[in-house]
Structure 1
Amino acid sequence: MSVNKMLKRNLQLIPRILGANGLSSFVLIRRLSASITKTVEAHKFYPAYLHYVGKDPLVYRNVGQQLEKTVAEYGSTEAIVSCHEQKRYTFRSLIEEVDRVAAGLLKLGLKQGDHVGIWAPNNMHWYLTMLGAARAGLVSVAINSALQARELDYCLKKAKVKAVVMSETFKSQNFYEIMKSICPELPDSVDGRINSVNLPHLKHVIIDTPNRLKGALSFDDLLGLSNRTEYEAITQLQRHIAPDSACNIQFTSGTTGHPKAAVISHYHFVNNGIHISNRNQFDSNTRICVQVPLFHAFGTVITIMAAMDKGSTLVLPAAGFSPADSLKAIVDEKCTVIHGTPTMYVDLIKKQRELKLPLKTAKMAVTGGAPCSPQLFLDIKNVLGLERVQTVFGMTETTAIIFQTRPGDSMDQILNTVGHLQDHVEAKVIDAEGKTVGFGESGELCVRGYLTMLGYYEDEEKTNETIGRDGWLRTGDQFILQADGYGRIVGRLKEMIIRGGENIFPKEVEDFLNSHPDICETHVVGVPCERLGEELCAFVRLQDGVTKISRDEIKEFCKGKLAHFKIPRYVIRVDNFPKTASGKIQKFKLVEVYEKEHQAQ
Structure 2
Amino acid sequence: MWDLLMDPQTYPRMFRGVGVYERAENAEGQPIPTVPGGRLVGPTAAGPVYLVVTDPGEVFELQCPHAGSFAAIRLRDNATHDTVGTRVTVTFIGLGRMGDDIASRERAEITEWTAAGLDRVADVLLRATTSVLVNGEDSPARLQVGIARQLVSTGVVRSYRPDRGIRQLGGLAKWGFTLAGGYAAAAAYTPDRPAVIDASTEYTFSEVHRRTHRLAATLTSLGFDEHTAIGVLSRNSAAMVDCMVAAGKAGVDAVLLNTGLSALQIREVVARHELAGIFRDDEFEPLLHGVSPDIPRYSTSPPAHGGPVTVDELVDYDAPHFSRPAQPGRLIVLTSGTSGTPKSARRPQPKGFGTVAALLSRIPFRMDETMLIPAPLFHTWGLAALQISTPIRASVVLTERFDAEECLRLIHDHRITAMIVVPVMVNRILDLPRSVLDRYDTSSLRVVASCGAPLDVSTVRRFMDIFGDVLYNVYGSTEVSWATIADPADLRTAPTTAGRPPLGTKLAVLDRNLRPVPRGVTGRIFVSNHMLFDGYTDAAPPTESGDMLDTGDLGYIDADGLVFVAGRDDEMIISGGENVFPRPVEEALSLLPQVSEVAVVGVPDREYGQRLAAFVVTREGAGRLDRDMIRDYIRHRLSRFSVPRDVTFLDALPRNATGKILKRVLVQAG
TM-score range, shorter chain: 0.7 to 0.9
**Structure-2 separation of matches of 1:39 and 1:333:** 52
Check 1:439–1:205 CA distance in 2 against 1; reply closer, same or farther (3 A cut).
same
Q: Report the secondary structure of 2:196's partner residue.
A: strand
Partner of 1:561 in structure 2?
637
Partner of 2:395 in structure 1?
313
**Structure-2 separation of matches of 1:269 and 1:551:** 54
The superposition leaves residues 55-75 of structure 1 with CA deviations (integer Å, 9 ceiling, x where unpaired) of: 106999331323322233333
Check 1:534–1:284 CA distance in 2 against 1; reply closer, same or farther (3 A cut).
same
**Structure-2 separation of matches of 1:526 and 1:589:** 12
Partner of 2:181 in structure 1?
65
TM-superposed deviation, 1:154: 1.0
TM-superposed deviation, 1:520: 1.4
**Structure-2 separation of matches of 1:283 and 1:584:** 29
Partner of 2:38 in structure 1?
none
**Are the equivalent residues in 1 in contact too, given 2:147–2:357 (CA < 8 A)?**
no
Check 1:122–1:353 CA distance in 2 against 1; reply closer, same or farther (3 A cut).
same
Partner of 1:120 in structure 2?
234
Q: Report the secondary structure of 1:217's partner residue.
A: coil
* TM-score where L is the length of structure 2: 0.73
**Structure-1 separation of matches of 2:578 and 2:666:** 22
The superposition leaves residues 218-273 of structure 1 with CA deviations (integer Å, 9 ceiling, x where unpaired) of: 2223112245x72xx67xx2xx555xx66211111121332111111213697535
Q: Check if 1:132 corresponds to 2:241.
A: no
Which of 351, 354, 362 is residue 279 of structure 1 equivalent to?
Answer: 362
Check 1:563–1:9 CA distance in 2 against 1; reply closer, same or farther (3 A cut).
closer
Check 1:562–1:132 CA distance in 2 against 1; reply closer, same or farther (3 A cut).
same
Amino acid at match of 2:455: C
TM-superposed deviation, 1:492: 0.4
Amino acid at match of 1:73: Y
**Are the equivalent residues in 2 in contact too, given 1:3–1:39 (CA < 8 A)?**
no
Q: Report the secondary structure of 2:279's partner residue.
A: strand
Name the count of aligned residue pairs.
Answer: 527
Partner of 2:533 in structure 1?
453
Partner of 1:22 in structure 2?
none
Partner of 2:309 in structure 1?
217
Which of 511, 519, 522 is residue 587 of structure 2 equivalent to?
Answer: 511
**Structure-1 separation of matches of 2:395 and 2:81:** 63
**Structure-1 separation of matches of 2:351 and 2:342:** 21
Check 1:476–1:483 CA distance in 2 against 1; reply closer, same or farther (3 A cut).
same
Partner of 2:432 in structure 1?
351
Amino acid at match of 2:131: A
The superposition leaves residues 258-311 of structure 1 with CA deviations (integer Å, 9 ceiling, x where unpaired) of: 21111112136975354224432212342222221111001111x101222211
**Are the equivalent residues in 1 in contact too, given 2:573–2:581 (CA < 8 A)?**
yes
Check 1:521–1:39 CA distance in 2 against 1; reply closer, same or farther (3 A cut).
closer
**Are the equivalent residues in 2 in contact too, given 1:404–1:421 (CA < 8 A)?**
yes
Please tell me the root mean square deviation across aligned C-alpha atoms, in Å: 3.0
**Structure-2 separation of matches of 1:42 and 1:469:** 26
Check 1:273–1:155 CA distance in 2 against 1; reply closer, same or farther (3 A cut).
farther
Q: Check if 1:88 corresponds to 2:88.
A: no
TM-superposed deviation, 1:139: 1.7
**Are the equivalent residues in 1 in contact too, given 2:147–2:353 (CA < 8 A)?**
no
The superposition leaves residues 504-538 of structure 1 with CA deviations (integer Å, 9 ceiling, x where unpaired) of: 11111101110011111111111222211222211
**Structure-2 separation of matches of 1:136 and 1:158:** 21
The superposition leaves residues 158-193 of structure 1 with CA deviations (integer Å, 9 ceiling, x where unpaired) of: 222222111111xxxxx223323322xx3xxxxxxx
Which of 529, 532, 542 is residue 608 of structure 2 equivalent to?
Answer: 532
Q: Check if 1:337 corresponds to 2:418.
A: yes
Q: Report the secondary structure of 2:544's partner residue.
A: coil
Q: Report the secondary structure of 2:268's partner residue.
A: helix
**Are the equivalent residues in 2 in contact too, given 1:113–1:246 (CA < 8 A)?**
no
**Are the equivalent residues in 1 in contact too, given 2:131–2:516 (CA < 8 A)?**
yes
**Structure-2 separation of matches of 1:80 and 1:39:** 53
TM-superposed deviation, 1:203: 5.2
Partner of 2:486 in structure 1?
405
The residue correspondences of 1:367-386 to structure 2 (distance < 5 A) are 367-383=450-466, 385-386=467-468
The superposition leaves residues 439-487 of structure 1 with CA deviations (integer Å, 9 ceiling, x where unpaired) of: 221111112231111111154xx12xx1438433111100113465431
Q: Report the secondary structure of 1:68's partner residue.
A: helix
**Are the equivalent residues in 1 in contact too, given 2:359–2:503 (CA < 8 A)?**
no
**Are the equivalent residues in 2 in contact too, given 1:62–1:241 (CA < 8 A)?**
no
Q: Give the helix-richer structure, 1 or 2.
A: 1
**Structure-2 separation of matches of 1:433 and 1:273:** 34
Amino acid at match of 2:304: N
Partner of 1:552 in structure 2?
628
* TM-score where L is the length of structure 1: 0.81
**Structure-2 separation of matches of 1:39 and 1:407:** 29
**Structure-2 separation of matches of 1:80 and 1:3:** 68
**Are the equivalent residues in 1 in contact too, given 2:375–2:382 (CA < 8 A)?**
yes
Check 1:541–1:268 CA distance in 2 against 1; reply closer, same or farther (3 A cut).
farther
The residue correspondences of 1:152-301 to structure 2 (distance < 5 A) are 152-169=266-283, 175-183=284-292, 186=293, 194=294, 202=295, 205-213=298-306, 216-227=308-319, 230=321, 237=324, 241-242=326-327, 247-267=330-350, 271-301=354-384
Q: Report the secondary structure of 2:187's partner residue.
A: helix
**Are the equivalent residues in 2 in contact too, given 1:269–1:305 (CA < 8 A)?**
no
The superposition leaves residues 365-410 of structure 1 with CA deviations (integer Å, 9 ceiling, x where unpaired) of: 2111001112111122223x23321010100012x21111357546
**Are the equivalent residues in 2 in contact too, given 1:307–1:313 (CA < 8 A)?**
yes
TM-superposed deviation, 1:206: 4.5
Amino acid at match of 1:46: T
Check 1:124–1:276 CA distance in 2 against 1; reply closer, same or farther (3 A cut).
same
The residue correspondences of 1:353-502 to structure 2 (distance < 5 A) are 353=434, 355-356=436-437, 357-358=439-440, 359-383=442-466, 385-398=467-480, 400-406=481-487, 409=490, 411-413=492-494, 415-459=495-539, 462-463=540-541, 466-468=542-544, 470-482=546-558, 485-502=561-578
Amino acid at match of 1:499: S
Unaligned runs of 5+ in 1: 12-34, 170-174, 187-193, 195-201, 595-601
Q: Check if 1:101 corresponds to 2:184.
A: no
**Are the equivalent residues in 1 in contact too, given 2:365–2:418 (CA < 8 A)?**
no
Identity of aligned residues (%): 24
Q: Check if 1:49 corresponds to 2:158.
A: no
Which of 70, 76, 99 is residue 192 of structure 2 equivalent to?
Answer: 76
TM-superposed deviation, 1:8: 4.3
**Are the equivalent residues in 2 in contact too, given 1:116–1:140 (CA < 8 A)?**
yes
**Structure-2 separation of matches of 1:219 and 1:10:** 74
**Are the equivalent residues in 2 in contact too, given 1:420–1:487 (CA < 8 A)?**
yes
Q: Which moved more, 1:95-104 or 1:488-497?
A: 95-104
**Structure-2 separation of matches of 1:577 and 1:500:** 28
TM-superposed deviation, 1:108: 1.1
**Structure-1 separation of matches of 2:645 and 2:451:** 30
Q: Report the secondary structure of 1:397's partner residue.
A: coil
**Are the equivalent residues in 2 in contact too, given 1:75–1:90 (CA < 8 A)?**
yes
Partner of 2:69 in structure 1?
none
Q: Report the secondary structure of 1:265's partner residue.
A: coil
Amino acid at match of 2:461: L
Check 1:6–1:129 CA distance in 2 against 1; reply closer, same or farther (3 A cut).
farther
**Structure-2 separation of matches of 1:458 and 1:79:** 35
Amino acid at match of 2:508: K
Check 1:386–1:337 CA distance in 2 against 1; reply closer, same or farther (3 A cut).
farther
